[in-house]
Every structure is written in C-alpha cells, then in structure tokens.
Structure 1
Amino acid sequence: MSEPTLGTVMAAVDGLVAAAGDPAVLPGAVEDVRRLFSGSKACLARFGTDLDVGDAIATDVDPGLQRRISGDLKPDFQVLSAAIERVPFGLVYQLHSVAGREWLMNTRAFHEWFAPQDMYDGIACRLVGDPQSYWFFDVQRGKSQPRFDTAERDMLRLLSPVLTRTMEVRRHLGRVELDRDMARDTLDMLADGVVIVDRDLTIIHANDAAERLITAVRSALLTRRGRLAARQGDDQRALKAIVAETLLAHDSPLRRHSSSFVARAGGREQPALSICALPFAGLRYPGRVVIAIKPLSGRPDMTDHLARLFGLTPAEARLAGLLAAGTTVADAASTLAVRLSTVRTHLARLFQKTGTRQQSQLVALLNSVSPPFPAA
C-alpha cells in the first residue's frame, strides 16, 4: 500500500464536505476514501428498518448483491447489525472482532456476499443514528492485500468526525427536502390558486390550480418572462401595488393596507379573478408574498360536498345547492320538478340538520363551506 499524502487526505476531506450539500457527489467522495486506504471496496450505508438499495453508497455497486442484504441473507446481516449497534458512535472497529471471526467465516453472508466482492478485512465506524437505524462507514481489503494496521485505524478515527458531519447535514437536508415536497403537494391539492412571488413578481412557486388559471386562454392573469402579470393595465398596477403594500405591512404590522382586488379577463369565456396578497410567513424568506387566486364565476357543484358535510339526502343536497346559488324556493321547486310543499319539507330538514332557523342564515352557511380541495 502506498503511503497517503497530505494532498490525498485533503482531497478525501474536501470530497466529503462537498457531498454534505450535494448527494450527487457522494459516491465520488466514498471512492476517494477507498483510494486513500487502498481498499478493495468502501461503503457508506444504513442498517435498520425499511432498508432499500439507496441506503448504501458504495464503490463498484452490485444491485443484486445489495438486494440480498434484505432478502435471503437478511438473518446473517441482522446478527451483524445487532453486533455493530453495540459499538459506540465514533469508535473504529474491525468487523471480525465485533462479530467474531469464527462465526463470520462460517456464514452465508461471508461466502456469498463478502468473498465475491473481495472483502476479507475491514475497518469501520458508526456515524449517526436513531432508535430505528444507524449509518456507518466501512472500507475493506481483498484477500491478497495486507491487513489494516494501527496507523490506518487511527487515520479513519481522524476522518470519522468529517464522515459524521457529512451524514448529519445530509439527513437534515433530506428532511428539508421532504418538508418542501410535502408543502408543494399540499398546495397542489387546493382548489384555489396559490402563487408565491418575490417583490418583482417573479414566480417562485405556483400550485396546480394557479397554473391552470394563469395558462387559460385570455385569463385575467398570465406570465411574462417568469413573472406574474395581469392582462389589463389597471389590474397590473393594482397587482404591483398590493404586493408592495403587503411587503410594507409585513415590515410594519400596524400599517393599514389594501391587499385584494378583482382582475378582469380578456374575454367572456374566462371569469374575473379575485386576487388577495398575504405576506409569506416566517423571517427566513423576506421579500416574498403569497397570492391567492379565486375565480368569481363557474361555481362548482356543491351537492356531494354538502351531502357529506351535513348528512343530507340526495334530494336535500340538491335543494341546498340551488339555494346556495341564489335560487328561490319557488324556482327550486320548478327546477327539481317537485311540489312547493315538498321543497318546504326539505327546507325544514335543512334547517334542522344545519342548525339554522332562517333561509338567509342557511344560505350564508352553505356559501361559507365551499370545499378547499377540488372534487375527485
């Protein structure tokens, strides 16, 4: 084995630091450490529950062998995992010392997994973990190579804090990415449009409903070079004004401001849009505004939603939908092709099930419970 130089050590450290922020370079960083130790194989891997192929970043990966860890060789690896779990974090160990050389050499895992990959002697270190799983780094040497000595174990001990920090940052960024994806998926479930813009109206994110509204032919809103814009000149000025006022109000909470207006479409085929601006919550993202967009026509069918919400029969739900849309009792009887007395009976049941006493109260309640999510 050639002696490591300061340059090769620093290259390995630099690679690990870069990998903390960019998972795409993590395999290359693991390869750099393998070369540093003149190993036959190296891996950064997780042991624990719900393992998959992505839980091992290894050099010269064999996906078939990786799958066997949680497949037919799982019993042997469960014993190995339990033995390694007893090793304190940060302590460098040799696998045969932890698991027992005699036991290890007689396992299927050794003969069908370690040996085919020329993994006969290894040093490793547990890095980070939780009650369900832990991450560790392991570097191996082949059958014809010299065994690891004390100096090499000491070198891994010195590298272990860098490896640990790399995985701590990766785990944190993984949670951030998960939170971001969940937030975006949640916004996409909403029936109304939501757009996040900066002070120049550059679109940072638009949910699915907003994308549909903005891209509709002759819509009241559109995009110009990645920025949110209104079709009409007066509306464009109003849009800029409410964004500017919202940002000022965020900095000065006592400042009164107008945060909404109605944007007009370019033709009768598209509805006008109610536009409302809100400051983006939190101090980590200054200069960002949330724009809520709601069409002012094209009322969705509320029948199924009202039936589920108040436990209405189909006939009662149809009447409730008509009343919410502004239909009179007499016109509802004509539309539903039933007697006026039948409609009044349904109306009495609606009062009972919704806890209202007057038709005006009922209509106000029905119009306040429009579903936040589009119909499936």
Structure 2
Amino acid sequence: MSSYMGFVEARVVVEGLGGEVLYSIIGGIYDCVVNPEGWTGVMTRITEAVDAAYTTIALASTGDNRGRFAAHSPWDAEKMRVLQEDYDFDAIPGLRAAVDGDIDTPVATLSLMSEAELQQTPFFQNWAKPQGLREACVTKFVHTKDRIGLLGCTTRTSRGVITAEEQRFLASLSPHLRRASLIGDLLDQVRITANHYRQTLDYFAVPIVLTGADGAIVHANGAADRMFSEQGPILSRKGQLQAQNPVIARALLEAIASAASADDLLGSRGIGLPISARGQPPAVAYVLPLTEGTARASFRPACAAVFVSTTTSSSPPPEAILTTLFDLTPAEARILLRIGSGLSASESALSLGIGENTLKTHLNRIFAKTGTKRQADLVKLVSDIGMPLAAPGS
C-alpha cells in the first residue's frame, strides 16, 4: 500500500509541477556530482519551480548548532553571511524542527506556528521582513553520525503559503540529493587520494607508468612523460605502453597481463625486461601488480605499475633476461647465449662442460620456446634483442 501511495504522490508531483522540470532537476543534481559548479544552477531551477525567493543547501556537523551553505541560488551575499554567522538553528523559526525531524520530510514554518507568531520573532523582524520574505520550507536529506544536510526554500511575502504539492515536490528531490552527496563524498575522497598519489609519484626521478590489464596507460608520472616525449626507451602509442623491440614489447604486455591477474608467473616473466633499443644505454622495465587497495582504487582501471630503470647496475644478467623473455631454464639460457654469439654446437657444449647430445636436447626445447628452427635463427634472435645481452666472457 505504501508503495502505491508513493507512486500516486509522485504522479501528483509530476503532473502538478511538470514532469520535465522534475526530471531535469534530478538529472542536474547528479550532474553536480562530477561538476560541483553546477549547484547554483540547480538551486536556481528549484527556486523557480516552487516560486521561492531563493534556495539553499546547508551542511552542518551533528555536534554543531549552525550550518554553512554549500550552495544557494543568487541572493544578497552580505545577507547570506549574516544569516550563517548571526543565527543558529534555534534562532531561525522552524529550523530546529526540521533538523530533529524525519529525513525526506519537508517542514514549512507556517505549518508549525501562526503567521502572527512568526512575525513577532526577532529573526523575522530583523532579517526576513526587511527583505520582503515570508516563510521557509526545510527538508533534511542527509543525517549521518557526523553530518546533517538541509535543503531550504524561502518565499516572498507576495505569494501564499507553501503548498502541500510544493512540499511533495521538494520531498521527491531529497533522496536524489542524498545519493548525490554520498557519491560526491566518495568521489572527493578518491580525488584527494589520487591527487596525493600523483604528487607522490611525480617526486620520483624514475619513470613510473600505471597501466590497465591490456597495457593502456592510466597514469604516467613526470619522468615517464619526459621519456615518452623523448621517444624511449619505452613509448606511448595510441595510449598503450610499448617497447621498441617487438619481442620485448610482447613480453612486456604479457607481464602486465600477469600482474593484472596476480599470476604467480609474474615473478619469472615480469621482472628485468630489457627495453633499450640498439645503441641506447641499458634500460630495464620492472612490472609489479597494484594490489587491491587505496592506490589501485584511486587509479582504476590501473592494475600494474611499470618502473623503468636506466642505471647500469640495474641490468639483470643475460641469462635472467632470456629466461624472462622465453621461459627458458637457466641451462637453456646459457646455451642460447653461446649459440647466439656464433659458437657452434660442439663449441658451446665444450664451453659449458656438457655432452653434445645433452646440448641437442636443450637446443630442441629452445627452438620450440623461441619459435625458431635453426641455429642461424638463434643468432639473429640474440642480435635483435641487443643490449644488455653480451657475448660470454665479454
């Protein structure tokens, strides 16, 4: 029954005050979540809809007896200042009843007292009457353990009392104001946290790039932006993080995808990727997952952090690079380095102190993992990877 009555009341509001107006104002309320500058316009539209003089949104601490205006439609700025500074909840007729009353329930001043009683109050005599104002209607739309939110509309003496239909209209806005304020709180926390993290990341001289699971760049610190503008050692292409070498570019994206899924293999495939092009100083990319928590929430949909080091000491051993790129065993990586440097199979076996049959067994596995067929392909593969790989003993 209550749901039906709510529907009937909504129909009355829509039909009486105009459905398009109501829906437009509700849409404007939610628009203000991402663009708070729009609140003045929304307050103005509410003012016009209920034929008020002005409309306010006031926020107050539950431990305080005063509110501050978060937004209001155009009105005399000095009068608004006096209203906030000189009058507390108990000094404004009807306001205490709204603060202590039920949420989403408009309270009109002249529903609590007669007009004669209202006109005898100091507030009316000193503040409302000189401005040609009559009464207010206040709706509490938020009441949490630490905050109260109030929507107030104040009318001029030239019009009648606030009607039941107008009160229903204001009540219909209250849940949307509440949702918008709570969403806005969450967004403000995220913005503050994200800004804090951005400032922190910008302090690092090391390039840091936060990416989505597909390598899409979500955030790059200042050092990373400079690296992109200098075209390396890693690049931004159509908003995606890329390495200049195709083999390493593929491994980088695989490592990022592993980070996104918290893959246990990340430790062997995502650490120490050589990303410098031929002729460039050594550079290494380290991929780390962004764990579920504040940092990840602040930069959604980022799920991986890529750190780029260009210090020589950070370059991993050549064997580690090859195990990372191709999932080789340490023994297979050592063989690939020998073959890739131009040694024959027998020379490589002798260098490593293993039999030629053992080397051939490893070599077949290397061919399968690297997608090659001949030793000459391995020579070209190692050459294409370039620095920081080096010939054994060099």
The answer, yes or no, to whether TM exceeds 0.5 is yes
Give how far 1:194 is off.
1.5
Paired amino acid for 1:243:
L
Q: Is 1:10 matched up with 2:28?
A: no
Q: Secondary structure at the match of 1:159?
A: helix
Alignment match of 1:295 (pick from 310, 317, 321): 310
Distance 1:130 1:20 in 2: 19
**Alignment of structure 1 residues 189-200 onto 2, 5 Å:** 189-199=203-213
Q: Which residue of 1 aligns with 2:54?
A: 41
Q: Which moved more, 1:91-100 or 1:121-130?
A: 91-100
Q: Secondary structure at the match of 2:52?
A: coil
Paired amino acid for 1:274:
V
Q: Which residue of 2 aligns with 1:76?
A: 87
Q: Secondary structure at the match of 2:291?
A: coil
Q: Which moved more, 1:134-143 or 1:5-14?
A: 5-14
Give how far 1:169 is off.
2.4
**Alignment of structure 1 residues 193-232 onto 2, 5 Å:** 193-199=207-213, 201-215=215-229, 217=230, 219-230=232-243
Task: Please say if residues 192 and 293 of structure 1, whose CA atoms lie closer than 8 Å, have aligned partners that are also in contact.
Answer: yes
Give how far 1:59 is off.
1.3
Paired amino acid for 2:275:
A
Q: Deviations over 1:77-119 (max 9, x none)?
A: 3645883532332232135777996598414x9745x556654
Tell me the TM-score normalized by structure 2.
Answer: 0.59
Q: Is 1:125 matched up with 2:139?
A: yes
Change (3 A) 1:64 1:266: farther
Change (3 A) 1:149 1:194: same
Q: Secondary structure at the match of 1:163?
A: helix
**Alignment of structure 1 residues 240-259 onto 2, 5 Å:** 240-248=250-258, 250-251=260-261, 253-255=263-265, 257-259=268-270
Paired amino acid for 1:296:
T
Q: Which residue of 2 aligns with 1:275?
A: 285
Q: Is 1:185 matched up with 2:199?
A: yes
Change (3 A) 1:225 1:252: closer
Paired amino acid for 2:211:
V
Distance 2:254 2:130 in 1: 65
Paired amino acid for 1:142:
R
Q: Which residue of 2 aligns with 1:168?
A: 182
Distance 1:56 1:155 in 2: 21
Q: Is 1:90 matched up with 2:132?
A: no
Change (3 A) 1:280 1:145: same
Paired amino acid for 1:31:
T
Structure 1: gaps spanning 5 or more residues: 300-376
Task: Please say if residues 274 and 285 of structure 2, whose CA atoms lie closer than 8 Å, have aligned partners that are also in contact.
Answer: yes
Distance 1:247 1:56 in 2: 44
Q: Secondary structure at the match of 2:102?
A: coil
Q: Secondary structure at the match of 2:161?
A: coil
Structure 2: gaps spanning 5 or more residues: 1-14, 315-394
Change (3 A) 1:248 1:140: same
Change (3 A) 1:97 1:273: farther
Aligned structure 1 segments of 4 or more residues deviating by more than 4 angstroms? 61-70, 78-82, 95-104, 114-118, 265-268, 283-288
Task: Please say if residues 132 and 157 of structure 2, whose CA atoms lie closer than 8 Å, have aligned partners that are also in contact.
Answer: yes
Task: Please say if residues 55 and 152 of structure 2, whose CA atoms lie closer than 8 Å, have aligned partners that are also in contact.
Answer: yes
Paired amino acid for 1:30:
M
Give how far 1:136 is off.
0.9
Give how far 1:128 is off.
1.1
**Alignment of structure 1 residues 344-359 onto 2, 5 Å:** none
Q: Deviations over 1:319-375 (max 9, x none)?
A: xxxxxxxxxxxxxxxxxxxxxxxxxxxxxxxxxxxxxxxxxxxxxxxxxxxxxxxxx
Change (3 A) 1:287 1:207: closer
Change (3 A) 1:64 1:183: farther
Distance 2:67 2:284 in 1: 47
Change (3 A) 1:95 1:209: farther
User: Which is greater in Rg?
Assistant: 2
Task: Please say if residues 45 and 136 of structure 1, whose CA atoms lie closer than 8 Å, have aligned partners that are also in contact.
Answer: yes
Q: Is 1:23 matched up with 2:39?
A: no
Distance 1:134 1:32 in 2: 23
Give how far 1:62 is off.
4.5
Q: Which residue of 1 aligns with 2:276?
A: 264
Distance 1:38 1:261 in 2: 67
RMSD: 4.0
Q: Secondary structure at the match of 1:281?
A: coil
Distance 2:146 2:130 in 1: 29
Give how far 1:42 is off.
1.1
Change (3 A) 1:158 1:211: closer
Q: Secondary structure at the match of 1:120?
A: strand
Q: Is 1:237 matched up with 2:241?
A: no
Give how far 1:292 is off.
1.1
